[in-house]
Amino acid sequence: MSIDFKGRVAIVTGAGNGLGRQHALALAARGARVVVNDLGGTRDGSGASASAAQAVVREIVAAGGEAIASGASVTDFDAVQAMVAQAMDAWGRVDVLVNNAGILRDKSFAKMELDDFRLVLDVHLMGAVHCTKAVWPIMTAQKYGRVVMTTSSSGLYGNFGQANYSAAKMALVGLMKTLAIEGAKNDIRVNCLAPTAATRMTQDLLPQPVLDALDPAAVVPAMLVLAAHDAPNRTILCAGAGGFEAAHVTLTEGVWLGVCDGVPEQLAAQLAAVTARRGESVPENALAQAQAEVAKAMAHAKPA
């Protein structure tokens, strides 16, 4: 089964370098018309330049594809809306959004300035919100859309010195989970990609042999699957160095202790049973988790 994007229009943010560039090139190579978005700033979000996005557009056009450049900052909703209008004026639709733009401002939480915390949230989380909000009415009217959020193992599992980045990346998982539910009726599928790749974001954070193994191109197949016509929905797909895995937010079977005196001590004594992973599940939504709690209570209820 071939995955192609003929007739599709894709927007890729942060597409001037690294992983975003690879995403844009791959989508274009498979037939998509691509908006290459990149503010052109440094790794920490400072500065701006149109040259990076324009260079990727030239690569795509030279290979026989169609692309336009956008220097919109994903933190500026008006600029994002103008970018989406640019795509609509050029091609009349938007089918795929890959929220890839990001910055790093790493420090231990004790030393991190609140402004650095807020800016990382603004780019990663609110940037994805702005872009998704701008394309959502279009995808709803088309009754078709594919949105890929870029999460991270730092968000899923934590990483020293990345409290801001980790918070933003896990927030994207929650955003994805809800948008996937809300968009399903209009065939808007929303998923998360957790890439492990050597880019300018990681170039001085990992030893060279590791960087050599983590070619960004190895992550692209996962993005293509999540953006394709037959994409899954509400999936967290991890990818790096040729490996692919799924991450899940699960619920253990737990225990029922009721509501009475002494429950804190009972809970402390049975915490190992509560956290045991045998029989864990993935609730379909928040209501399903609540229903599981009620069902547990009802199973222990005394007959009237």
DSSP lists the bridge partners of residue 246 as: 237
Contact between 36 and 16 under an 8 Å Cβ cutoff? The reply is: yes
Q: Where are the alpha helices (DSSP H) in 10-123?
A: 18-29, 51-62, 77-91, 114-121
DSSP lists the bridge partners of residue 251 as: 281
Residue 64, phi-psi category: left (phi > 0), alpha (psi -120 to 50), beta (remainder): left
What CA–CA distance (Å, rounded) separates 200 from 198?
7
What CA–CA distance (Å, rounded) separates 188 from 64?
29
| Catalytic site positions | 165
Contact between 165 and 106 under an 8 Å Cβ cutoff? The reply is: yes
User: What torsion, rounded to 10 degrees, do the Cα atoms 207, 213, 219, 221 define?
Assistant: 180
73 token code pair = 């900052």
**Residues whose CB is less than 8 angstroms from the CB of residue 64 and which lie 6 or more positions away in sequence, other chains included:** none
